[in-house]
């Protein structure tokens, strides 16, 4: 059964209270170690109340929230061909349709999760996507999930390998919770470019979402019952810069104390030193080859290998050249 929990948008404290008692789809990527800005350990301490979860709204967040309905409206006229897209909008011809739903959705199959998709894509434009009887929600005309992201051109250039995994996991979580197999992410870039990515439900990812969020929430519940020893239930260390940043904040002040290392701890230190030395050697070897290529290119900015890809060494407005190897392995 899926229910709706309606919290007034202006009641920020009620919003925080609700979110601390579950996991939102936008937080699932953090639990899976896919968020470059936050570790699962930091989220854990937020959920047990040791770290404040209140976030001050910055300009990017403010603009993203205000533009959400604008981008959703544009998406309804979207066509990959720009001329057709503009014509659709100017003539009022919509090629797709969606509607929003107030509040949060909860599914009793996944009690640790809650869902608040940006939009519900409709099969038939003339019918409502859902109906509500008391708190119970029934989807009668739901084709899929719509997720809206406003981004900068700089951010999009970091995604040449594909859509950020945390966004993919977010929309997969919505598909899981609402029981659909389709979704779209619409990116509004630099206030002028619209890109739509279609996604189909991936059962392997959905299974991982259920497994990891269930385990994480069990840690949170257990830690709340034993707050004096809550550190014992913290998620395992991650090999991410987000976790490194979390540790630097949590233990910002050192004391003159010594731990007697065990054989296992020595193995950790040994592996770290060995990998660090290998990385330095590989970095030196990589630099040697990039310098060979740059010396070959001289004042040229591209080496073209046809279907094999290309290497570029281009200047920016400040005269600094950026080297990029895009060959296919």
Instruction: Return per-residue pLDDT of the chain as tens, 329 residues.
Output: 999 998 876 777 888 888 899 999 999 999 999 998 899 999 999 999 998 876 676 777 776 677 788 888 999 999 988 999 999 999 999 999 999 998 899 999 999 999 999 999 999 988 999 898 888 999 999 999 999 998 776 666 666 667 889 999 999 999 999 999 999 999 988 888 888 999 999 999 999 999 999 999 999 999 999 999 999 999 998 888 889 888 888 887 877 888 888 998 889 888 888 988 898 888 888 888 888 888 888 889 899 999 888 988 888 777 788 888 888 88
Beta-strand (E) ranges in the chain?
2-5, 23-24, 98-99, 104-107, 113-114, 119-122, 130-133, 136-139, 142-151, 182-189, 193-200, 302-304, 310-315, 321-325
Give the integer Cα–Cα distance in Å for 323 and 190.
25
- Domains of the chain from N-terminus onward: 2-209 (3.90.320.10), 288-329 (no CATH)
Q: Across-strand partners of 2? A: 107
In the prediction, which pLDDT does 218 show? 97
Q: Count H helices, E strands: the chain? A: 10, 14
Q: Any residues with CB less than 8 A from the CB of 145 and at least 6 apart, and which? A: 117, 119, 120, 121, 171, 174, 175, 178, 180, 182, 183, 184
In the prediction, which pLDDT does 64 show? 67
- Using the CB atoms, write b or e for 187-219: b if 16+ within 10 Å: bbbeeeebeebebebbeebbeebeebbeebbeb
Give the integer Cα–Cα distance in Å for 223 and 46.
12
Does pTM top 0.85 for this prediction? no
Structure tokens at 267: 């193995």
């Amino acid at each position: 059964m899926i229910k709706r929990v309606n919290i007034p948008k202006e009641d920020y404290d009620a919003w925080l209270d609700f979110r601390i008692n579950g996991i939102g789809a936008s937080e699932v990527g953090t639990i899976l170690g896919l968020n470059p800005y936050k570790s699962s350990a930091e989220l854990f301490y937020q959920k047990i109340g040791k770290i404040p979860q209140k976030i001050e709204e910055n300009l990017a967040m403010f603009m993203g929230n205000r533009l959400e309905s604008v981008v959703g409206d544009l998406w309804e006229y979207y066509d990959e061909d720009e001329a057709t897209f503009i014509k659709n909008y100017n003539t009022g011809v919509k090629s797709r349709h969606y509607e929003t739903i107030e509040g949060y959705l909860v599914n009793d199959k996944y009690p640790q999760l809650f869902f608040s998709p940006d939009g519900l894509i409709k099969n038939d434009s003339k019918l409502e996507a859902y109906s509500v009887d008391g708190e119970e929600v029934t989807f009668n005309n739901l084709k899929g999930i719509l997720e809206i992201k406003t981004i900068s051109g700089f951010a999009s250039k970091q995604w040449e390998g594909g859509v950020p995994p945390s966004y993919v996991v977010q929309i997969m979580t919505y598909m899981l919770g609402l029981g659909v197999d389709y979704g779209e992410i619409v990116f509004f870039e630099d206030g002028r470019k619209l890109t739509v990515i279609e996604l189909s439900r991936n059962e392997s990812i959905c299974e991982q979402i259920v497994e990891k969020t269930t385990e994480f929430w069990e840690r949170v519940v257990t830690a709340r019952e034993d707050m004096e020893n809550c550190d014992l239930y913290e998620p395992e260390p991650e090999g991410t810069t987000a976790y490194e940043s979390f540790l630097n904040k949590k233990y910002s002040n050192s004391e003159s104390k010594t731990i007697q290392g065990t054989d296992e701890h020595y193995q950790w230190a040994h592996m770290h030193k060995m990998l660090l030395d290998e990385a330095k050697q590989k970095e030196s070897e990589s630099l040697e080859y990039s310098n060979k290529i740059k010396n070959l290119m001289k004042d040229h900015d591209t080496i073209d290998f046809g279907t094999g890809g290309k290497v570029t060494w281009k200047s920016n407005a400040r005269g600094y050249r950026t080297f990029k190897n895009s060959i296919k392995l």
